[in-house]
Amino acid sequence: MRKIVLEESVILALLTSPKAVKQLPFLKAFAAAAKKRPGCLPCQSGRATVDFSSIKKTVAKLDQASQVLLLNLLNADQLIVNYSSGGAARRLVITRGKQ
């Protein structure tokens, strides 16, 4: 069983994948924001500004079909999403065939 934790590197990989952005439309706005690099020239060469927390919350609210699509895109059997909501830490485990 291939388990993946939805962390920054996984999110960045999704945002830079045209296939993922096309198949999961909610990623489009986040992908556009990731391309913008605010600040001075040295800062622009650094990391993109991405709201990882919002992306995790959005993933947690996906319908079952979108969850399955996300699992397929990640080639995973299980996706673990750790996020905060209402000041409380939450953990969602999305499992193939059992969302």
pLDDT digits (tens, 9 = 90+) for 67-96: 999 999 999 999 999 999 989 999 999 998
CA dist 43 and 5 (Å) reads 28
SS3 assignment for the chain: CCEEECCHHHHHHHHCCHHHHHHCCCHHHHHHHHHCCCCCHHHHCCCCCCCHHHHHHHHHCCCHHHHHHHHHHHCCCEEEEEEEECCEEEEEEEECCEC
22 pLDDT above the threshold of 80: yes
What's the structural domain count of the chain?
1
pTM here? 0.81
**Domain span holding position 19:** 3-95
Query: What is the pLDDT confidence band of residue 44, given thresholds at 50, 70 and 90?
Result: low
